[in-house]
A = this chain, B = another copy of it.
Amino acid sequence: MKLYDCASAPSPRRVRMFLAEKGIAVPTVQVDLRGGEQFTDAFRAINPDSTVPVLELDDGTRIADAVGICRYFETAHKEPPLMGRDAAEQGVVAQWQRWAERDGFHAAMEAFRNATPAFKTHALPGPDEYEQIPALAERGRARVARFLERLDARLGHSEFVAGPRYTIADITALIAVDFAGWAKLKPPESLAHLRRWHGGVSARPSAKA
């Protein structure tokens, strides 16, 4: 088994954090995203979508998606559960994970990729060329600001994002908050619940994975 990874990128960090919380070690292969290795024929033979993370199992099966990889490990290594325990909790965790991804991580990506010169012709991840849209960078910034406020409100009456336990929703939300920082969208100091939570989840060993 091996994980195609890029130590500096937020998407594979989601998987590395998940594995660290599970206590699982998987050999990694670093893909040089800055150097454009994801667009080479060699890497596109591994993942035509030109993205990391990709998990390759010993039988050759590949899972080319961060949450798909987490789902694999959640089923293969049940403890500790990070995607909910019973059916209802699993549904609620999925809801919050997807909210943090859509309104947080993807919004931050809109803000960052539509305004950063290196992504001039690659405003979306993947092999296709899409020009930057300045209005989309601006919309992304507005969405991130709202996401941070709502995350703070949620954390005012919930210890973690999806409820009383640490889950994949916290991983996605942490990646979203930290990635928003790349677009210079730091949470305002006034968001005290968010600051409390961010300090706590950032201090876990998994945050360094």
Partner of A92, one of B68, B91, B99: B68
Q: Tell whether, in the assembled complex, residue B130 and residue A57 are in contact, meaning their CB atoms are under 8 Å apart.
A: no
Interface mask (A31-58 → B, CB under 8 Å = 1, otherwise 0):
0000000000000000001000001010
Q: Which residues of B contact A130 (CB under 8 A)?
A: 139, 142-143
Q: Tell whether, in the assembled complex, residue B95 and residue A65 are in contact, meaning their CB atoms are under 8 Å apart.
A: yes
Q: Which of A82-90, A185-193, A194-202 contacts B (4 or more CB under 8 A)?
A: A82-90
Q: Which residues of B contact A86 (CB under 8 A)?
A: 75
Smallest Cβ-Cβ distance to A55: which chain B residue: B91
Partner of A65, one of B76, B98, B142: B98
Smallest Cβ-Cβ distance to A72: which chain B residue: B91
Rounded to whole angstroms, the CA-CA distance of A64 and B146 in the bound complex is 18
Rounded to whole angstroms, the CA-CA distance of A87 and B92 in the bound complex is 21
* B-binding residues in A (CB < 8 A): 49, 55, 57, 59, 61, 63-65, 67-69, 71-73, 75-76, 84, 86-88, 90-95, 98-99, 124, 128, 130, 133, 135-136, 139, 142-143, 146
Q: Tell whether, in the assembled complex, residue B71 and residue A94 are in contact, meaning their CB atoms are under 8 Å apart.
A: yes
Rounded to whole angstroms, the CA-CA distance of A84 and B71 in the bound complex is 10
Smallest Cβ-Cβ distance to A94: which chain B residue: B68
Q: Which residues of B contact A75 (CB under 8 A)?
A: 86-87, 90
Rounded to whole angstroms, the CA-CA distance of A59 and B87 in the bound complex is 13
Rounded to whole angstroms, the CA-CA distance of A139 and B123 in the bound complex is 11
* Most B-side CB within 10 Å, residue of A91, A95, A99, A135: A91
Q: Which residues of B contact A88 (CB under 8 A)?
A: 57, 59, 61, 63, 72
Q: Which residues of B contact A73 (CB under 8 A)?
A: 87
